[in-house]
Amino acid sequence: MTVNLLGLDEQTLAAFIAEIGEKPFRAKQLMRWVHRFGESRFSDMSDLAKTLREKLVQSAVVAAPRVISDGVSEDGTRKWLLDMGRGNAVETVFIPEAGRGTLCISTQAGCTLACEFCSTGKQGFNRNLDAAEIVGQLWMANRALGATHTHEQGERGERGADDLALACGERQRNSERGARANRAVSNVVLMGMGEPLLNFDNVLPALRLMLDDNAYGLSRRRVTVSTSGIVPLIDRLREACPVALAVSLHAPNDALRDRLMPINRKYPLRELMGACVRYLDRAPRDFITFEYVMLSGVNDGEQQARELIALLADVPSKVNLIPFNPFPGTEFQRSPREVIRRFSDSLNAAGIVTTTRKTRGDDIDAACGQLAGQVQDRTRRVIRMEAA
């Protein structure tokens, strides 16, 4: 059985290298080739010994999900539909901005949480993505955006003791600096299809690869996990890999949040706010981002603004207001621009930093809440909800 190297973090890749009888330093060399340089052909990994390359051909692959479709919005947002097998597909979105490029990654085929205002939740749920499928979205995007850098080719063929010196030498360092500088993706948000924390065991190695200097070298401030509020797993992420945290809030009281987000019935707001405060002890930022979709006549009134201010009084916060992005069959409408402005002004006046997200990619259904993909088996939602 072949191993997909895209899903192996430093520890598991080192174990794999040991299993095939190679020296430990080969793991870092291989990681650089796969992730920094986006190389999938072992024959082109020129500073690896010929014997190692032959072993890799027999025992490993570098295989990202297959692209089914690739669309570009008028504003430059790009969305890929990716084949995850057995009739399932997920969506990955790249958002270019001045000075940075953000990739929105999916972590599940579908979603178990059934939030009322989210197209993904209406698609049902099939399965968790594995680590290779999660990281494969980043690997694929860097290649598709033309941002990978070809490693300077050295003498091919088997080498002896100078392999490590070459791997750490000036020639490779220069190439690596070029690869890093040319990366199109500077920020990653796990905000695509699915609830990342309900796929924790696969998300964790994926995060570690994103942060690893031998792989993508992103800072913890530039990698964000979005959650609907799975309290025990927020605590677990805090201990294991505290990246930036965004909480999908969308309501300032339990009654309304119970209606919009059924997970609130298990982890109500008081417990969620407690987990957020605990997370800040190790977070790379000194605030938690709270996402709040603006639903006309539902959660956008003056009373809701006052309740939200009170809810966040003891939690260092940044609030991101999201104009609702409609999808077929929804009962909700986007709050009028003036209503969103008044809501934002109320929060800012209370000392809560508040921004309104610019809608991007809605003409290709790539905006927040619109990702749907394709989910073949929709029967497992209840099972996963009970396990949360």
Catalytic residues: 91, 368
Q: Is 284 exposed, middle or buried (0-12, 13-18, 19+ CB in 10 A)?
A: middle
C-alpha span between 66 and 85 (Å, rounded): 9
Note every long-range contact of 29-33, with CB atoms under 8 Å and residues 24 or more positions apart, other chains counting: 29/163, 29/167, 30/5, 30/56, 31/212, 31/214, 31/215, 32/167, 32/172, 32/176, 32/214, 32/215, 33/151
User: Nearest to residue 311, comparing CAs of 290, 287, 294?
Assistant: 290
- The 3-state DSSP class for residue 246 equals strand
Give the whole-angstrom CA distance, residue 62 versus residue 139: 10
CA separation for the pair 254, 245 (Å, rounded) = 21
In what helix (H) or strand (E) does residue 300 lie, and over which residues does it extend? none
- Give the DSSP H or E segment for 320: strand 317-323
- Phi and psi at residue 104, to the nearest 5°: -100, 115
> 300 — phi, psi (to 5°)?
-115, 15
List all residues 6 or more positions away from 193 whose beta carbon is below 8 Å from its beta carbon.
Answer: 90, 91, 106, 107, 108, 109, 110, 111, 120, 123, 371, 372, 373
